A and B are shown apart, each in its own frame.
Chain A
Amino acid sequence: MTTHSETGSVFQSRKFTDFAPIKESLISRRLNASFILAPLAMKLVEDGVPIRIVYLGHRDGTALMVGKDSLIREFPDLRGKTVAIPNRFSNQNLLMHRMMKRWGMAPDSITLIEVPPPEHPTALRAGSVDGYIVGEPFAALSEVKGFGRPLYYTKDMWPNFISCVLVVRKETIDEERALVQELVDGIAKSGKWLDQNLEHRMDAAQIVGKHVNFQDPELLKFVLSKPPDRVKYSNLGPLRADFDEIMELALEVGVLKRRLEFEEYVDTSFVAPVERIDWGFDELPRPTAGDPGQ
């Protein structure tokens, strides 16, 4: 639990290991808000769940991984292979179809199977898939452990790729506007701070790895620095052009049944003009030379 401000608001984060239980918690109102896959958010709106996308979690930060010693060198080599995706309603699924179309491959030329993100590296290591496409740090995990290799980063396949978005239940938007604004501003500020320099990213990896996600900080440092544009935390306001492209692909692939208007599933009113946000950051004290505590 994080006491986020002097006004007494509390942001309570709940960690999940798959998107299905997040979806159920959103529907049953056990969650006010969540980071979920963009097409899944659209699907929930299509099904009548009262949620809106208010912000993005990050841009890029997904990689298509294959076995370190596999003979797969470019996308067409995946023909006839099995690739894990995080969810049918994920942009990773849409991206695979987008790539198949680009390379003139039939939509069923690669077998795509749904696997919860934390299990992707294990599936590759066990040989049950030939590759996987998922958000970090699960993509980098197989690379760091020495049995996986990135075939493509999303920045090379679909620049400024959107994976997870922040959705908020409609009644929370209506009843707790100030709180939602505080959350969105906080994400914007954190993103700007992260993208300021590599030192900030290393601090974040240390803190988040140790105290929030309980993941190896060294793995997170790798993700946030090799290369530094592997994942980006700037320009997180939801843009119509990006979502129109996702909508077209989702209809084409068949994960959505009807075309939704941008305003039906996105609320851009929380995207603050840059000049309105107080960008003052609380800096951590830096170790000095000879400091025995560091």
Chain B
Amino acid sequence: MKLKVLIGALVWTLLVSLAHVQLNVGWVTLTEVVREWFGRKRAVLEIGYLPVT
């Protein structure tokens, strides 16, 4: 019975976490955070433009 409760809680936590990433964080942001943890942060260049030629 205790094992069932534990597994249920873990599955629930996992589902809530996945929903949180999907709805609030975004998978791209999460990927960037993970890359940064492993020292593989991508160089980002923000470039402004006007939609003219």
Contacts and interface: CB of A to CB of B under 8 A. Distances in A.
> Do these two chains interact?
yes
Given A1-B28, A8-B40, A16 B50 contact: yes
Number of chain B interface residues as a range: 10 to 19
Size category, A interface? 35 or more
Nearest to B44: A10
A279 interface: no
Nearest to A118: B51
A40 B50 CA distance: 14
A15 interface: yes
A231 interface: yes
A61 B53 CA distance: 6
B36 to A, nearest CB: 12
Nearest to B42: A8
A226 to B, nearest CB: 14
A34 B42 CA distance: 20
A4 to B, nearest CB: 9
Nearest to A172: B45
Interface string A71-84: 00000000000000
B7 interface: no
Contact of B46 (A12, A136, A163): A12
Contacts of B48: 13-16, 22, 25-26, 31, 33-36
A57 B47 contact: no
Contacts of A33: 45-48
Interface in A111-129: 117-118
B23 interface: no
A17 B47 contact: no
